[in-house]
């Protein structure tokens, strides 16, 4: 059985542990032996994206040490996967951790693209949504343009019986989260989220599924502030529930 | 409208001013969407757009790595064609040279073809102060000049104005009501501009590309006004950012193929002029003097640094048109000259990251800009690098302290567990309700617009 390391990411660890739990169960169902190293806390992106390199390195160092080895590293976020696979080699360039960073970068995989490639139809058992729902898949920017992944999560959702995936109008436009961007310019970020919320609402979907908890927090948080109900779920939770539905 | 923007404050303050102007915002959204759609359709008419963009990027890198040789050759060929060349180290030198030329022809009026580099050096004000009336002749630029505003988009200067806004403005100027009709409004400006073309002693333009080996300047316009500015007055001054040079017509052809397509989607602009010095004996038209001002103004500091790809830019405006931030706030929230993603990169590099580096935060790093750039500038990476400079020399002490504290708090799993534990406690206290609005200075503003997620029952970090 191949072993993988699951990196839940700080956001999942703090606020959305169910998302990471679901990812673990899906990976286990797919036949992997999953470990979740305690020291893999955060990839350092909040500081890195704000230009604070030293601080990003301080935080990322712990995760880097925890992810040494040979195993594939699966992350519950397209954004954090971009950070690890594209930016860690830069972040640790010229330090004693340079080689380790390159090694992890090469082994880092975003959850949905990893699962879509590592499994075939049926490998996760019969996938059935417990209720018939229409969902919109939200492309997060780092996943779409950083990793170039848009088909894999849709393919996974397509395997779930009873689920209809609808495309939004401005599918590729940013939801305005941008990590610390939303803290720096909260009102501007809200206006950006509003366009996404309106787009989603216009498509009459029951929920939004995504691969980045940050975007989902932004969309749901903004929708609720406007009294629009848009349930948001991390993609692994949908798959996990669909596995249950078939058990 | 632009008067409400305070350029001594930061991007965040100016963005709030923009957010308060629904009419302007809807004009901008409509226009950028139309252009972005046009861009996609325009590129689709190429046989292999991605390959051509790759070639364009390589051409621009080649131009930049041979910049001294290219510029030397351009000066030589332009002079051989009968023109004059002046290398301006900064804005003041460029302005002084233009004023000298203006004096030499006793200029009272200067007709101008739209040029962002003249905005960069503050040329219009210098001309006015010297008693030369600058008249913008690109329709969009004419509109903003008459409104007393700077351009709000590097290609479409009046993008923030609706047709109704223009009708109102022109009616005031005309002293009679003008209909809300694009043709009639254009005709109104056209008649006035014609008079200026005939009377002006000086013509001023930018340069889209200087073709080094040919002694030729390429100008891309859609209204024919550029051709009038460069051929009717006695003297013509072209002002070119030093990076806007290519070697030969073959390279020019690649870039021209991408320039208009990336902006409006046109295969080529209505008028693509190739200028080759002043009027020669026996020629019926053209200026007596042709001056080329090659402007540095901070550009050479970018050469050879990790920011050098920013100098590939051909000013097509595609990155502005797809930027999710620009569409909300428009150009005025940035620097009044170069806005959008490319502006957020080059303005801090030209003006100093300490002073203007906060502009680089005017992005979610969504990379839509990098995706459409015809010369493949990795804009989102350059924004990140500008942020790194800004974190060192421009960020507040409070911001630096906050990141330092955060980095220590999350540096070890044990310390991080304290946060998970605190979350568990708060979650138990809140019992499934979302957190109350927080009276913290930063989070307060954040929570005003959005509901915080429920804290997980039983706390975080399982698995």
Q: What confidence tens digit (pLDDT) does each residue in B183-218 have?
A: 999 999 999 999 999 999 999 999 999 999 999 999
- Across the interface, whether the CB atoms of A51 and B328 are under 8 A apart is answered no
Q: What is B367-428 written as a DSSP string?
A: -HHHHH-TT---HHHHHHHHHHHHHHHTS-HHHHHHHHHHHHHTSSHHHHHHHHHHHHHHHH
| B432 pLDDT above the threshold of 90 | no
At residue A131, does pLDDT exceed 90?
Answer: no
**Could you tell me the strand order of the sheet in which B245-246 lies?**
B245-246, B209-211, B216-221, B271-275
Residue B148's Cβ-count burial label (10 Å; 0-12, 13-18, 19+) is: exposed
CB contact (8 A) between residue B367 and residue A222: no
Q: Is B452 on the interface with A (CB under 8 A)?
A: yes
Is the confidence at residue A84, as pLDDT, over 90? yes
> Tens digits of per-residue pLDDT, A185-200?
999 999 999 999 999 9
Q: Judge whether B412 is closer than 8 Å to chain A, CB to CB.
A: yes
- Answer whether B329 sits within 8 Å of A41, measured CB to CB: no
Determine contact, residues B347/B334, Cβ cutoff 8 Å: yes
Q: Which residue of A9, A10, A14 is the best one to mutate when testing the B interface, meaning the one whose CB has the most B CBs within 10 A?
A: A14
Residue B379 token pair: 């804009």
Query: Which of A141, A143, A162 is CA-nearest to residue A151?
Result: A143
Nearest CA in chain A to B405: A55
- Which of A206, A241, A243, A205 minimizes the C-alpha distance to A19? A241
How many CB atoms lie under 10 A from the CB of residue B19? 17
Tell me whether B396 touches chain A (CB under 8 Å): no
Q: How many residue pairs from chains A and B have C-beta atoms closer than 8 A?
A: 179
Q: Residue A51: its chain B contacts at CB < 8 A? A: 360, 384, 386-392, 395
The alpha-carbon gap from B360 to the nearest alpha carbon of chain A, in Å, equals 9
Transcribe B40-84 into DSSP letters. Answer: HHHHHTSS-HHHHHHHHHHHHHHHHHTHHHHHHHHHHHHHHTT-E
Name the pLDDT band for B422 (thresholds 50, 70, 90).
Answer: confident
- Which chain A residues are within 8 Å of B406, Cβ to Cβ? 46-47, 55, 59
Tell which residue, A116, A167, A181, has the closest CA to residue A138: A167
Is the CB of residue B219 less than 8 Å from the CB of residue B207?
Answer: yes
Phi, psi of B202 (to 5 degrees): -130, 140
Of B400, B412, B461, the CB nearest to A13: B461
C-alpha A38/C-alpha A35 separation (Å) is: 9
CB contact under 8 Å between B413 and A51, yes or no, is no
pLDDT, chain B, mean? 93
Kindly list the residues from chain A whose CB atom is less than 8 angstroms away from the CB atom of residue B452.
221
A14 at the B interface (CB within 8 A)?
A: yes
A35 near B CB under 8 A:
no
Q: Do A187 and B366 touch (CB under 8 A)?
A: no
CB atoms within 10 A of CB B81: 18
Q: Is the pLDDT assigned to residue B442 strictly greater than 70?
A: no
Q: Catalogue the E-assigned strands of B195-288.
A: 202-205, 209-211, 216-221, 235-241, 245-246, 271-275
- Quick one: pLDDT band at residue B435, thresholds 50, 70, 90? low
| Inter-chain residue contact B463 with A186, CB threshold 8 Å | no
ipTM of the complex: 0.96
Q: Which of A84, A96, A36, A23 is nearest to A59 (CA)?
A: A84
Q: Nearest Cβ partner of B361 from A8, A174, A184? A: A184
The token duo for A136 is 């919109």
Q: Is the pLDDT of residue A229 over 70?
A: yes
- The answer to whether A108 and A45 have CB atoms below 8 angstroms apart is no
Q: Is B298 on the interface with A (CB under 8 A)?
A: no
CB contact under 8 A, B413 and A62: yes
Nearest chain A residue (CA) to B364: A178
Asked if residue A135 lies in contact with residue A209, where contact means CB atoms within 8 angstroms, the answer is: yes
Query: Does B437 score more than 70 pLDDT?
Result: no
Quote the strand ranges of chain A, DSSP E.
Answer: 3-7, 33-35, 72-75, 108-110, 128-138, 161-166, 207-210, 232-234
Nearest by CB: A174 against B324, B450, B461: B324
Least confident of A97-111, B189-203, B437-451: B437-451
The tens digit of pLDDT for each residue in B119-163 reads 999 999 999 999 999 999 999 999 999 999 999 999 999 999 999
Do strands B109-112 and A232-234 pair parallel, antiparallel, or not at all (unpaired)?
unpaired
Q: Could you tell me if B179 lies within 8 Å of chain A, comparing CB atoms?
A: no
pLDDT tens track for A159-194: 999 999 999 999 999 999 998 999 999 999 999 999
User: Which of B24, B359, B426, B453 has the most A C-beta neighbours within 10 Å, making it the best mutation to test the interface with A?
Assistant: B453
| Cβ atoms within 10 Å, residue B273 | 20
Residue of A nearest to B389 (CA): A51
Task: Report CB contact under 8 Å: A181, B364.
Answer: yes
Give kind and range of the element (H or E) at residue B133. Answer: strand B133-136
Q: Give chain A's end-to-end CA distance (angstroms, integer).
A: 22
Whole-number pLDDT of residue B452: 75
Distance from CA of A236 to the nearest CA of B (A): 13
For residue B458, the distance in angstroms to the closest alpha carbon of chain A comes to 10
Q: State the pLDDT at residue B423.
A: 75
Angle at B57 between CA B155 and CA B62, to 5 degrees: 115
Name which of A23, A37, A41, A61 to mutate to probe chain B: the one with the most chain B Cβ atoms within 10 A of its Cβ.
A41
pTM of the model: 0.95
């Amino acid at each position: 059985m191949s072993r993988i390391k699951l990196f839940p990411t700080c956001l999942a660890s703090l606020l959305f542990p169910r998302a990471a739990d679901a990812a673990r169960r899906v990976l286990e169902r797919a036949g992997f032996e999953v470990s979740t190293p305690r020291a893999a806390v955060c990839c350092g992106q909040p500081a890195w994206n704000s230009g604070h390199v030293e601080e990003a390195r301080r935080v990322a160092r712990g995760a880097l040490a925890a992810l040494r080895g040979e195993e594939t590293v699966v992350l519950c976020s397209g954004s954090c996967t971009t950070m690890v696979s594209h930016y860690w080699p830069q972040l640790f360039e010229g330090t004693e951790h340079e080689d380790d960073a390159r090694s992890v970068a090469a082994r880092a995989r975003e959850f949905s693209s990893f699962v879509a490639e590592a499994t075939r139809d049926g490998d996760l058992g019969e996938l059935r949504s417990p209720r018939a729902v229409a969902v919109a898949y939200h492309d997060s920017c780092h996943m779409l343009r950083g990793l170039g992944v848009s088909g894999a999560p849709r393919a996974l959702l397509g395997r779930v019986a009873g689920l209809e995936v609808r495309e939004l109008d401005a599918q590729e436009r940013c939801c305005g989260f941008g990590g610390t961007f939303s803290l720096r310019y909260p009102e501007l970020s809200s206006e950006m989220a509003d366009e996404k919320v309106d787009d989603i609402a216009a498509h009459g979907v029951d929920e939004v599924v995504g691969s980045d908890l940050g975007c989902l927090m932004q969309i749901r948080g903004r929708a609720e502030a406007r009294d629009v109900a848009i349930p948001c779920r991390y993609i692994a939770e949908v798959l996990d529930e669909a596995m249950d539905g078939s058990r | 409208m632009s008067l409400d923007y305070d350029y001594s404050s930061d991007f965040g303050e100016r963005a709030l001013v923009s957010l308060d102007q629904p009419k302007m915002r809807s004009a901008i959204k409509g226009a950028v969407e139309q252009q972005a759609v046009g861009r996609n359709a325009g590129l689709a008419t190429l046989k292999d757009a991605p390959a051509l963009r790759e070639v364009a990027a390589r051409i621009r890198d080649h131009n930049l790595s041979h910049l001294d040789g290219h510029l030397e050759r351009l000066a030589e060929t332009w002079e051989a064609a009968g023109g004059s060349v002046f290398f301006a180290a900064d804005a003041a030198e460029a302005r002084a040279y233009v004023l000298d030329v203006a004096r030499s022809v006793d200029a009272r009026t200067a007709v101008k073809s739209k040029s962002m580099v003249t905005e960069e050096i503050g040329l219009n004000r210098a001309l006015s102060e010297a008693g030369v009336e600058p008249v913008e002749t690109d329709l969009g630029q004419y509109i903003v000049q008459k409104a007393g505003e700077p351009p709000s988009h590097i290609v479409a200067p009046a993008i923030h104005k609706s047709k109704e806004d223009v009708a109102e403005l022109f009616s005031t100027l005309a002293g009679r009501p003008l209909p809300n009709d694009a043709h009639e409004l254009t005709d109104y400006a056209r008649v006035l501009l014609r008079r200026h073309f005939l009377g002006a002693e000086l013509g001023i333009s930018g340069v889209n590309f200087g073709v080094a080996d040919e002694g030729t300047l390429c100008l891309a316009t859609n209204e024919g006004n550029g051709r009038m500015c460069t051929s009717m007055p006695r003297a013509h001054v072209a002002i070119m950012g030093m990076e806007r040079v290519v070697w030969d017509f073959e390279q020019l052809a690649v870039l021209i193929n991408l320039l208009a397509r990336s902006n409006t989607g046109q295969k080529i602009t209505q008028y693509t002029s190739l200028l080759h010095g002043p009027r020669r004996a026996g020629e019926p038209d053209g200026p007596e003097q042709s001056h080329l001002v090659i402007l540095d103004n901070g550009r050479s500091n970018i050469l050879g640094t990790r920011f050098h790809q920013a100098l590939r830019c051909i000013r097509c405006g595609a990155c502005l048109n797809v930027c999710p931030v620009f569409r909300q706030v428009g150009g005025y929230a940035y620097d009044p000259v170069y806005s959008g993603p490319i502006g957020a990169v080059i303005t801090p590099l030209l003006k100093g990251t300490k002073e203007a580096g906060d502009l680089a935060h005017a992005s979610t790093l969504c990379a839509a800009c990098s995706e459409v750039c015809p010369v493949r500038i990795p804009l989102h990476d350059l924004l990140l690098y500008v942020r790194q400079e800004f974190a060192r020399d421009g960020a507040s002490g409070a911001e630096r302290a906050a990141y330092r504290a955060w980095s220590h708090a999350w540096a070890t799993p044990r310390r991080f567990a304290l946060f998970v534990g605190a979350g568990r406690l708060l979650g138990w206290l809140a019992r499934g309700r979302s957190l109350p609005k927080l009276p913290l200075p930063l989070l307060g503003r954040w929570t005003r617009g959005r509901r915080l997620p429920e804290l997980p029952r039983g706390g975080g970090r399982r698995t």
